[in-house]
Amino acid sequence: MILTEGIPRLVVSLVGPDRTSLERDWGRAQALADVVELRLDLWDEPDASWILARSERRPVIVTCRPVRQGGQWAGSESGRLDHLERAVRAGAEAVDLELDTWATACERDWMSAERLVSHHEFEPGAGDVEELLARLGAVGAEALKLAITPSDAENALALLERVSRLATPATLIGMGEAGQVTRALGARYGNRLIYAALDADSRVAPGQLAADRLRIDYRFAEQSSDQIEGWYAVVGNPVAQSRSPEIHNLALSEESLPFVYVPLRVIDFSRFIERLAAHPCRGLSVTLPHKRAALEASTAADSAAREIGAANTLTRRLDGSWEAINTDAPAVLASLGGPEQVSGREVLVLGAGGASRAAVWALRQAGAQVSVANRTASRAAALGEELGARALPSLDVEASDYDIVVNATSVGLAPDTEATPLPAGRFRPGQVVFDTIYTPRHTRLLRDAAAGGAQLVLGEEMFLHQARLQWERWMGRPAPLRTWRARLSAPRELS
């Protein structure tokens, strides 16, 4: 039985739209999926009999999602149910039926097919989750599915907490970037069906992951068999651009460690950290805009984090409290070749956030003469006074006056890749320009600096060094830097 067996199933959706596409994708779906979902509403001809007649195939859930529930079926309700009923008669093992027309659907003969009752809410924060779960659980279906759109990862984790409390086998999904954790970790928390796209171009819902990423990066099979003991995460807003899950999961898998690493889009850090009390999270990589809040949430911190006033790494202690360290600061110096390469040099740091604070502190510790420029002059002044740097009145700076320029702002971060914190024409030969952004690898700032003859330091250097220190803190073993470098130099695989 698809829905009532007590093990998670990876479900790959076949979207068509034409028979040629379906024939092409069928074999790949069979290789990746435990169950195949036939999305008839997305097909040019919603007749599944030719697929269901195949002698060797994965079990099938048949779905014909109406427009009102996020699908593309715009015809009559009776016509929609006719297509589903024909698919069941042709051998589909399960059928997805929407909550709002459940009573009408139950007038049909679904034979021995299992019934999945479902409901989708696409507006962030829409729908009373408890009320919807009560309604879904009351209809008598073999299993239920609820997909909502959480505003941040704290809401998504709250959704996962409910799975084990339900009497009916359930699949609870958070859609969008904030809800991806329910897909990445859904099997570990007991979600019965883990829906995945065949590839990045065939997603049927916001935030859906590709099936191979679930199997490889998030180790679906090990989650399903209770071999994953806990998880780590990168926390920020946004986090979709982060490659931390990619490199950490690669290393965790290669070294057979019982953890996975997920991206979490978080708005309110204090609420989020409280939510983690109910979850086996072992550590956090913290990025914009939560580095100061991360330090405040800790009960112990290293001297760098305390003096900088920001932390990018949290480690959970045995008593459940959090220890904060800052790996950004040593990563800045490592990226520039070590303290001896910056001592006595004139350095311009752009920005006044957590990364900027780490850069200024590290450079000052190494003996550099540091100036800070920020869009908001008062923030640059406060940072300069606190950490012993010269504050400039604006970002309108003659960058060529400095030996080293460090961009610690988010200006130029994907997707806004043509933005730059400094105009072109302000760079010179012999100067070093370091952009802490690593997505994209070659930002507009770096391209302009290269045109002026400057020496470049890519953001992935800092990314790798700070990740190395995080890994060593968490795992107590050397990080696989050579493997990580090879992965980052390859084209990024979209999930």
Neighbours of 449 (CB within 10 A): 28
- How far is residue 349 CA from its own chain's centroid? 29
Task: Look at strands 313-316 and 281-286 and give their pairing.
Answer: antiparallel
Catalytic residue list contains 145 = no
Phi, psi angle pair for 370, to nearest 5°: -110, 135
Q: Which of 9, 120, 243, 291 is catalytic?
A: 291
CA distance 308 to 470: 17
CA distance 58 to 175: 26
What residues contact residue 10 under an 8 Å CB cut-off, 6+ apart?
32, 33, 34, 35, 194, 196, 211, 214, 215, 220
CA distance 375 to 472: 35
Tokens 């309700």 belong to: 77
CA distance 494 to 492: 6
CA distance 325 to 327: 6
Mapped onto helix, strand or coil, the DSSP state of residue 464 is helix
- The answer to whether 118 and 137 are in contact (CB under 8 A) is no
Q: C-alpha angle 429/435/437, rounded to 5°? A: 155
Residue 185: closest CA among 222, 234, 139: 222
Catalytic residues: 291
